[in-house]
Amino acid sequence: MRTRIKEFRARYDLTQEELAKKVDVRRETIVFLEKGKYNPSLKLAHDVATALKSNIDELFIFD
C-alpha cells in the first residue's frame, strides 16, 4: 500500500506531530503510515482523511 499523506500534509503545512495530535495517535504511527509500513484500521484511515480534508481513496493507494 502507498499513501499520499505526506503530500496532503504539505498542502496544509502540518507536521507529522500535528497530524498525529489531530487523529489521536503517536507521531510514529504517522511515520509508518507515510512509509506504507502500517495498514490502518478503517477508523484511522477515515480520521486521517478527514483531518486532511480528503477521502480515503485519495490518500491510500492499494496495489
User: What is the average pLDDT value for the chain, to the nearest integer?
Assistant: 95
Report how many domains make up the chain: 1
* Residue 2, φ and ψ in degrees, nearest 5: -115, 155
- Give the predicted TM-score (pTM) of the model: 0.92
Q: Domain of 23: which CATH number?
A: 1.10.260.40
19-23, 37-41, 58-62, range with greatest mean pLDDT: 19-23
* Residue 17, φ and ψ in degrees, nearest 5: -60, -45
pLDDT tens profile 24-51? 999 999 999 999 999 999 999 999 999 9
SS3 state of residue 3:
strand
- The parent domain of residue 9 ranges over 2-61
Q: What are the C-alpha distances in Å from 25 to residues 6, 49, 61? A: 16, 14, 21
